[in-house]
Structure 1
Amino acid sequence: MNHTIRFIASLLLLHVSFFTYAGRISGTVTDDKGAVLPFASILIKNSTHGTTANNEGKYFLQLAPGTYTIVCQYVGYERKEKEITIGSEDVVLNFQLSRQQLSLAEVVVRPGGEDPAYEIIRNAIKKRPFYLKQLDTFQCEVYIKGQMQLRDYPNKFMGQKIDFEDGDTSKKKMMYLSESVMKYSSQNDKIKVEVLSTKVSGQRDGFGFSLPQFVTFYKNNVDLGPNLNPRGFISPIADNALNFYKYKFEGSFIEDGREVNRIKVIPKRKYEPLFSGYINITDNDWRIHSVELEITKESQMQFLDTLRINQLYVPFDTNVWVIKTQVVYPAIKVFGFDLYGNFVNIYSKFDVHPEFQKKFFDNTVLKYEEGSNKKDSLYWDTIRPVPLQTEELRDYHKKDSLEKLREDPRYLDSIDRIRNKPSVPGILFVGQTISRQKNRSTLTIFPLAQSVSFNTVEGWVINARVTYTKRLDSTGFSRSVSISPLIRYGFSNGHLNAYLTASYDVGKKRPSSFSIGGGKNVYQFNNSNPIDPLFNSFSSLIWMHNYMKIYEAWSGRIDYSKGIADGLTARIGFQYQDRMPLENTTDQSWKAWDTRSYTPNYPTDLMSENFTRHQASMLSLSVSWRPGSRYIEFPDRRFEISSKYPTFTASVTMGIKGLFGSDVDYGKWRIGVNDDLNLKLAGTFKYNISAGGFYRAKEVQVPDYKHFNGNQITMVTNYFNGFLLLPYYKFSNTATLYGEAHIEHHFNGFLTNKIPLFRKLNWQLVGSMNTFYINDHSSYIEAGVGLENVFRILRADFVWGFEYGQKAYTGFRLGINLLAPPRGN
């Protein structure tokens, strides 16, 4: 039945197409030597209607009967026009473009005189704000096609054989291919993208790269994404561009009666976030005609090696120009992988005076319409404005066939067997994942680096954890359940502990989560776990510094969180602990120290002896609010991506006397605000500020104190929520009021790009300040200066600590991004 419906639909579509389009023109765009000109623009003269050639220079355009002037343009080449009459027959119309012939006849540059390019650039800078605001409100349709290809890759990576599971052993292969068509709406600084159709090669239910980025050089700072450089890049016509660029007038050419100036853009200094290449500016009105610009590693670009951007603007009317095509060419070589690609954006159906309904611009920035990824090949053949390349056609066919094969349960089982093979790096450092695609489940086994440790109470410890996760829906990610058992055994004290946690996550637009856990486990006195067990092991065994203080408890907890509005989440939790003290059972160390011995297993700054066994029932309520949260919305789920406002938090925790025999009786509160501020060229400023205290403190045990997340070892795992030099428990308290602040400024290359060695290695300066204040009793502040992005993963800080009334002390701290664990609650 389905085949019959599809056949009838195809006939109807062909019938409609016959009466809509009477003729089709197609052809190839090359230069005068026969070389292909990829992504050339083909337009109907005096309109923005047209198409774009593919990477092989091939194009097609369907038109109603009539006579047209077809214009072919390619940045850096002379525009060519051809008149053609369309009837009922298909027409082949090839274009051969020559390099732009530039005129320098009227230009005279005297020795020591200024290049004419500077006057042109000054005029363009003056007009920049006008053109930036001229199209602050518009609507258009955008077609995006993106692909990434491999040129080479290693046979093995981290000890694992590279297998792309496609049966192809060649080094050159298409890694990613997608297409999307969307409606793009803009009003002032607000945007909304509605994806009408999207597809990903080899992923029938996939969603393609569908957030078109209007790279506008009319902005002072050109944002190409935080992964390339959070500082952004300076436009060649920015207000301060003359401080960063040199310019050279290459000549001018006449196009459709307009004179266009071609300017070579040259960075004045290396290792600045600058472009190089060419920008073409029209004479007299000083607007951008087109650009051919590039950024490289020397431009302080991270992740990629090179990124080329080609843009072409066309007149919409006598006063307004709009972007017609934008092609971005990324390339990267990393860990032996050599990738390159292109992302072509084609803009059409512009409306420069759209009328938007009230509340059209909401918190959803990108929305995939229902069924947008379900369009068949017949639809794409009629809607696609750029012909597919031969290798793209081959990739769609090959991966569609592979996807059908992969639906076979026997194939899924064979792929699972390959993927689930244990590896040495997985077992030791990153963990091992065992997947079962048929039932949409995974089993994650934690690595030995997180499972084996040493402390003075348990001796050598095995802390084995696994997590089983199962998706309960077949197509989306809106329902899942996970179960995580833990088995812990201390070889010195002989204690066996076991704990089980289960959680259920559900919800599309506003997700909620319910979790329950119970058993017997080991806890740090500061339940936020400021001390990493691995680092504590080395600190103890090498230097006999047993900073981690622990106790044992039978416990159970229930937690529920719910998104109740955009950016607003509420949480409620209950926890019961039957706390039992633990004592040291071993003095083992790798080095004998005459002047050192292990300290007792309790915070000696707070206690002269260990606590007695007691029970604690605790209820906590909290809310977090991030106003202005923006979302990407899929048909089956929604994700928060950003906000220009900070996150506000508030919480109350109560120790309930008598409930299940509870011995504690207290109440404490906390409010906080945190944010990351991108200051573009000046770097990124981060802050986390909070205040709180106890409003009732009748019966408070040490684990319930307000603890500051200190640090007394060289390695740091918690920068933004902790201190770098502070003793772990020295300032724990039950004060009625405290204030705490953590501030960092990441210069992201600012300043260090002036230092020869640092700028070449892309090491970046970071400054930090951490402080607290407790009533009138005590205060502490520490300041640090360091380098990050050292070998891409390291951060090194030198820190000064200042305690009120005490002599200042200093320390060196080292952080490894890959080792930073999630923090506890």
Structure 2
Amino acid sequence: MKLFLKLLLLAFLGGFNAQGQQLFTLTGKVTDGKGIPVPFVTIYVNTTTKGTSSNIEGNYKLNLPPGKTDLLFTAVGFESKLLSTTLFDNKSLNIELTSKVFTLNDVVIGRNNKEQNTADEIIRKAIKNREIYLNEVEAFTCDVYTKGVQKLLSSPKKFFGRDVSKILDLDDKGQGIIYLSETVSKLDFQRENKIKEVMVSSKVAGNDNGFSFNKASDLTINFYQNVVLEDKLNVRGFISPIADNAFSYYRFKLLGTNQDEDGQTISKIEVKPKRINDPAFTGEIYISNGSWRLNSVNLYLTKKSGIEFIDTLNIKQQLVLINKIAVPSSVQFDLKGKVMGFKFSGYAVGVYKNYNVEPAFNKHFFSNEILRINASSNKKDSLYWVKSRPVPLTFEETENYTKKDSVSRLKSSKKYLDSVDNVKNKFNLTQILITPYVYYNRYNKKSITYDPLYKSIMYNTIEGIALRYAVSLRQGFNDGRYYSVRPEVRYGFGNKHFNGNVQAKYFYDPIKNGMISFGFGTEVANLNSLKQANLFRNSINALVFGRNISKFYERRYLNIQASREFAPSFELKITADYAEREALLNSNYLSFRKTNDFTANDPFHPTDNESLLFPKHTGFIISGTLAYTIAQKYITRPDGRFYIESKYPRLEITYKKGIPNFFNSDVNYDFLSAEIFQKDFHFLLLGKSSLLIGAGKFLNAKQLYYPDWKHFRANRSLIFDADVRNFHFLDFYLFSTTKQYFEAHYQHNFGSFFISKIPLLRRLKVEEIIGGAYLTSPEKRNYSEFYFGIKRLNFRIDYGYAFDSNKRIEKGFKLSYEF
């Protein structure tokens, strides 16, 4: 009778639309034959793409309509299980999966039953079909759920004098989840890597107003590509086990075959790198015999593979056929590592459902915006997540949400934030010596930053020992806007001269990067405006090595600058600068060396200490720069627009005009330049290159002074900035031009391509660098540089040569570091 009433009720409800249909919740746990939970099992309503995944503890949850439903449970390394269940109420259903038994019975893979099964033959078949399957997916749409978890397994008690447990909210053992976030997105894809993702919901533990950094497209990995994870975990990327050249990097072993639920024979193949330090995976891949397509993968990367920052990475991917096209049903990344005393682990999982592999996109559907996060995405309540979360939370994750969310509002209260500020604002003399001291008022989004002292005390031959000190005041707003004011004072004890100025900036449009700034006052400026040399390094050069590399002048100025994007990747910047400029003379020759190589402040008359490089004058200059990065992808968040590194170059055109007679301005010139810059050209296993080409000309040079000349990014110090734009040996000042110029820079990073093959050196994990630069102008014709070096993380050493036409003029080592 009860069943009859339920069926009658269902028939009655069937008259309404599907949106009004009642759903019941099926929950359960998936274990193996020993009762051990099976994590991230893919669970689909059979013959559909509606489904979910179990969590790391094997628990699953799925909302289903009333009545009978056929469910398919699949997991890498386990027998798939198809079963029927009938729901008229919420129900619990535990599932036990059986490990797949792979036998080594012969399987025919050739014609006329002559070719017998071997791992190598199966892989060759898969490689032969690689390009077909790489290009078989024309387009699709789907819903994607992602979850990212990062946790500390152990940590030091103190880090730079700060209590780690308090800062990261850890337990007394130094353990805990430090990042937990979930998203639900709508993902659209079209071949040629066209992607559009809209994040409809976002949840971040302990931050009600935060937006997740999870991105569904970040979990995309396609092993039909020859090289995967390029420039992600190292420069070069890693060879796919079914790449065209896979046999040069892998050994394969057939572990056995098995029949899936459709009667398809699946071969389990072990993959191992031929050489211990090859950029290759270890693990198993599963291939469907006959079609020779990937069924699933379970692969590992370790430090021996060349990954940086983490110790191991495990990738599991399960594929499903939709209209005879294979698409991911789930993907899982697990990582572990240890750095600077912090032992950590984490995972990211993506569950894909509701596929449509034959969508119809209009011509302008895709753009360079690859992800848009809706402003309301972080406003979903807990009931929404209970209903929409396809992968249940573990007990630890639930506890983390409960704990952090319960204090989230408390942490945004004035009382709490003031108490945090009282602790963090405690003055530390040791800290301010080497790092900035920041005074926070978090509730009002205000901060005051005091410069570190080591950067404030300096020496040069113009001012002698000098003190330059600045304080930055910043006021932020909830929508990402902010303004800042930075007053600065500078006093030279040698020339007994005081300078002071104020810089202010208002960032008014986070989406279009709209900014306006102005400044006024006096300053001691570098004669080469493109190279404000590091004042600390300049002091070391003078005091220790007896070389005053940097040259200076003084200016009393007023400037205004505005910049804004009028379209994505199109940026216009306009600057107006009015200044009185005055050449300076040396006043102090202090050095720790008995003899020194100090020169006059006029670089063209190094022995004449009374020579002034230019007369005192006034200049009013306006300039405009239009920059565009071709096809640059970007993410739009409610708090701003964020760009992804483009594989196409950035184009930049600059026009500068010296306007005469404006408030007694003495300058009169027109300058036009163009630049093409590409940060990274990728060459798969051979690494990546960077390229810059620039040219310019003074269209009118009736009246200009040395600060107006075209300068170059030069270097005369042992320490250099490792930017492809910079020359290694070029003089800062002697070869600036008032006419025309052409320059080119090229640099290539092989990413350990050669050194990884040398047994005694490959453990160093250093990257090989080669490069060169070229400059020609009336002042310096056919100048060139060539260099080679090695790099490890942020440290680099080069050895290079400089040539004037065909004559070698300099050689030597150059060092670079960055923190």
2:652 and 2:312 mapped to 1: Cα distance? 41
1:127-526 pair list within 5 angstroms = 127-162=129-164, 163-164=166-167, 166=169, 168-188=171-191, 189-212=193-216, 213-223=219-229, 226-256=231-261, 257-317=263-323, 319-423=324-428, 426-471=431-476, 473-474=477-478, 476-477=479-480, 479-526=481-528
Stretch of structure 1 that moved more, 686-695 or 438-447: 438-447
Which residue of structure 2 aligns with residue 102 of structure 1? 102
Which residue matches 1:66?
67
- 1:722 maps to what in 2? 726
Q: CA deviation at 1:114?
A: 10
- Tell me how far apart the structure 1 counterparts of residues 742 and 450 of structure 2 sit (CA, whole Å): 40
Deviation at 1:777, TM superposition (A): 5.9
> Secondary structure of 1:723's partner?
coil
Paired position in structure 1 for 2:111 = none
Name the structure 2 match of 1:672.
675
* SS of alignment partner, residue 121 of structure 1: helix
Q: How does 1:535-546 map to 2 (within 5 A)?
A: 535-546=537-548
Aligned to 2:122: 120
Supply the distance in 2 between the matched residues of 1:22 and 1:768 (Cα, whole angstroms).
63
Do the aligned partners of residues 604 and 147 (structure 1) sit closer, same or farther apart at CA in structure 2, a change above 3 Å counting? same
CA contact (8 A) 2:39 2:57 kept: yes
Alpha-carbon displacement from aligned partner over 1:173-231 (angstroms, at most 9, x marks no partner): 0111111111110111201001111110111011113311221111111126x341232
Give the stretch that moved more between structures: 151-160 or 116-125.
Answer: 151-160
Equivalent residue, structure 2, for 1:822:
none
Structure 2 residue 83 is the aligned partner of structure 1 residue 82: yes
Q: 2:652 aligns with which of 645, 649, 663?
A: 649
Q: Give the partner amino acid of 2:454.
A: A
Q: Is the 8 A contact 1:783 1:799 kept in 2?
A: yes
Unaligned runs of 5+ in 2: 1-15, 109-114
* 2:11 equivalent in structure 1: none
1:423-466, Cα deviation, whole Å (9 max, x unpaired): 46642333222221111122222222321111111111111012
The DSSP-based 3-state class of the residue aligned with 1:194 is: strand
What residue in structure 2 maps to residue 572 of structure 1? Answer: 574
Aligned to 2:790: 787
- Give the letter for the 2:277 counterpart: Y
**Counterpart secondary structure, 1:661:** coil
Structure 2 equivalent of residue 549 of structure 1: 551
Q: Deviations over 1:341-379 (max 9, x none)?
A: 111111000000001133110121101123111100011
Matches of 2:422 and 2:150 in 1, distance apart? 28
Distance 2:515 2:62 in 1: 52
- TM-score computed with the length of structure 2 as normaliser: 0.93
1:807 shift after superposition: 4.0
The count of corresponding residues between Structure 1 and Structure 2 is: 790
Partner in structure 1 of residue 92 of structure 2: 92
**How far 1:779 sits from its partner (Å)?**
2.3
Calculate the aligned-residue CA RMSD, in Å: 2.3
Q: Which amino acid aligns with 1:378?
A: L
Residue 265 of structure 2 aligns with an amino acid whose one-letter code is E
TM-score normalised over the length of structure 1: 0.92
1:676-687 equivalent positions in 2, closer than 5 A: 676=679, 677-687=681-691
Instruction: Check the 8 A contact 2:421/2:442 in 1, yes or no.
Output: yes
Residue 604 of structure 2 aligns with an amino acid whose one-letter code is T
Deviation at residue 55 of structure 1 after TM alignment: 1.2
Instruction: Compare 779-788 and 97-106 and name the one that shifted more.
Output: 97-106
Q: Distance in 2 between matches of 1:67 and 1:482?
A: 63
Shift in Å, 1:124: 0.6
Deviations 1:31-83 (A, max 9, x none): 11111111112233333332211111111223233333333222112223333
Distance 1:746 1:115, change over 3 A: farther
Deviates more, 1:120-129 or 1:615-624: 615-624
Map 1:545-624; keep pairs closer than 5 Å: 545-593=547-595, 596-604=596-604, 609-610=611-612, 611-624=614-627
Inter-CA distance 379–599: structure 2 relative to 1 (3 Å threshold): same
- Structure 1 letter corresponding to 2:223: F
Structure 1 stretch displaced more, 226-235 or 778-787? 226-235
Structure-2 change in CA distance of 1:815 and 1:389 (3 Å): same
- 1:590-625 deviation digits (Å, cap 9, x = unpaired): 1212xx442112213599621332222212122111
Other-structure match for 2:31: 30
Aligned to 1:797: 798
Q: How far 1:167 sits from its partner (Å)?
A: 7.4
Q: Secondary structure at the match of 1:164?
A: helix
Cα drift, residue 22 of structure 1: 5.7
More moved, 683-692 vs 640-649 = 640-649
C-alpha separation in 1, matches of 2:273 and 2:428 = 47
| C-alpha distance in 2 between matches for 1:415 and 1:360 | 47
What is the CA–CA distance in structure 1 between the aligned matches of 2:335 and 2:116, rounded to whole Å? 35
CA distance in 2, matches of 1:587, 1:487: 23
User: Which blocks of at least 5 consecutive residues in structure 1 are unaligned?
Assistant: 1-14, 819-825
Q: Distance in 1 between matches of 2:269 and 2:87?
A: 42
Could you tell me how far apart the structure 2 residues matched to 1:613 and 1:209 are? 53
Amino acid at match of 2:25: R
Q: Identify the residue that residue 808 of structure 1 maps to in structure 2.
A: 809
Residues 1:781 and 1:37: Cα distance change in structure 2 (over 3 Å) = same
CA-to-aligned-CA distance 1:95-135 (integer Å, 9 cap, x gap): 22232211113379xxxx99810100011111111111111
Distance 2:19 2:134 in 1: 42
Task: Give secondary structure in 1 for the equivalent of 2:724.
Answer: coil
Counterpart-to-counterpart distance in 2, 1:115 and 1:755:
36
CA contact (8 A) 2:152 2:177 kept: yes
Change (3 A) 1:165 1:410: farther
The corresponding residue for 1:731 is 735
User: Hey, what's the Cα distance between the residues in 2 that align with 1:346 and 1:429?
Assistant: 46
Q: Secondary structure at the match of 1:435?
A: strand
SS in 2 for 1:120: helix
Percent identity between the two aligned chains: 35
Q: Distance in 2 between matches of 1:62 and 1:544?
A: 76
1:393-423 C-alpha deviation (Å, 9 max, x unpaired): 1111100112121122111011112223344
SS at match of 2:256: strand
Equivalent of 1:769 in 769, 772, 775: 772
Q: Distance in 2 between matches of 1:804 and 1:44?
A: 72
Contact 2:600 2:607 in 1 (8 A): no
1:416 is paired with a residue of what secondary structure? helix
Once the two structures are TM-superposed, the CA of residue 147 in structure 1 deviates from its matched residue by 0.7
Letter in 2 for 1:92: S
Aligned CA distance change for structure 1 residues 96 and 805 (closer, same or farther; 3 Å):
closer
Secondary structure of 2:432's counterpart equals helix
